Amino acid sequence: MIHTLNRNYVLAPFHVLMSNCQNNVLMGLRIVQTLEKFPDPTPEELHFFQLSFAGPPTDLSRARQHFKNWVLAKGFGDIQKCIRATLERLFIFRTVELKIKANEKFDIGACEKELWRRARQPGYPVLVDKINSLFGEPLRYQDELDSFNNARNCLEHENGVVTEKRCTNPEKNKLVIHGTRFKMFFKTAQAEVPAELGKPGPRNSPLMLGAEEFQIEFGIGQLLEISLKQFIDILNTCV
């Protein structure tokens, strides 16, 4: 029997998971930006008793910041889950591909089941090492993904306040998030002119789509403030 592998298998869940992450985070951050007072109770809440652990919140600014931290932590967590799911499938696909190339005889159903077990057991770094061993060169963007995960840890375990433990620069005094984002620009004979919404570009200059590296830095004691635009840039790194 001839086995034909479909490379779309690897990315099958990626776009759905990443789209859900983007939509959920954007909705949360938009709510944060537009919220000017505490929401009134819903009609459902008015019909049952509630247990309150600390009484209703009274500081809108503080509550808004806590909610934003929670949204961002969930967003970074969803990115990690999305990448993990994709890497698990890549491990399975590549292992089966190499078996076929080596003309091994095997039950593909039983093999896939065993590979799923092996893919889901190890921690993330071990899974990455396993995948790297199956290719001639290591996976790209691991440093960027590690910086995203470090930001998530800061939001979840340090309440979004940068501590020395979360600092990633050599001096251990800054938390640095870095990645690659899309950029649109007009190409002239002399330079690249950034494209701006609603503003015409230089005459007879083509509009181009490219990429550029970015980094966001936070010092010790600083709050991990990430804007809606910055989170979109972070998502772009994963595409």
| pLDDT tens-digit readout, 15-30 | 999 999 999 999 999 9
The pLDDT score that the predictor gives to residue 2 is 58
The pLDDT score that the predictor gives to residue 231 is 95
pLDDT tens-digit map of 124-156? 999 999 999 999 999 999 999 999 999 999 999
Phi, psi at 17, each rounded to 5°: -65, -40
Burial class, 234, CB count within 10 angstroms (exposed 0-12 / middle 13-18 / buried 19+): buried
Burial class, 204, CB count within 10 angstroms (exposed 0-12 / middle 13-18 / buried 19+): exposed
Q: What is the gyration radius of the CA atoms in the chain, in angstroms? A: 23
Beta bridge partners of 161: 223
For 47, the token pair is 């019909």
The pLDDT score that the predictor gives to residue 3 is 62
Taking CA atoms, 136 is separated from 28, 87, 122, 133, 139, in Å, by: 41, 16, 22, 8, 10
Taking CA atoms, 33 is separated from 94, 107, 133, in Å, by: 44, 54, 45
For 144, the token pair is 């960027």
d(CA 20, CA 31): 17
Beta bridge partners of 178: 215
CB of 208 closer than 8 Å to CB of 151: no
SS (H, E, C) 181-228: EEEEEEECCCCEEECECCECCCCCCCEEEEEEEEEEEEECCCECCCCH
**pTM of this prediction?**
0.86
Burial class, 79, CB count within 10 angstroms (exposed 0-12 / middle 13-18 / buried 19+): buried
Q: Could you tell me which residue, 4 or 9, shows the higher pLDDT?
A: 9
pLDDT of 103 over the 80 cut:
yes
The pLDDT score that the predictor gives to residue 201 is 87
